[in-house]
Amino acid sequence: MTGVPGDWQSWDIRADVLGIVSSKASTRLAIVECKNTAITLAHLSQLLGYCRVAQPEYAFILSPFGASSMLKRLLQTYGRKDVLEYQHKKGKVPRSLVIARWDPVTKNLDYASLITGDDNVGRI
Helices (H) and strands (E) in the chain, counts: 2, 7
Helix, strand, coil shares of the chain, percent, nearest 5, are 25, 35, 40
Out of 15-29, 41-55, 87-101, 110-124, which region has the weakest mean confidence (pLDDT)? 110-124
Residue 27 to residue 2: CA distance in whole angstroms: 6
Per residue in 28-44, pLDDT (tens digit) is 889 999 999 999 999 99
Residue 11 to residue 73: CA distance in whole angstroms: 32
% pLDDT > 70, the chain: 87
Question: Which residue pairs from 87-94 have beta carbons closer than 8 angstroms and sit at least 24 positions apart in sequence?
Answer: 87/51, 87/52, 87/55, 93/118
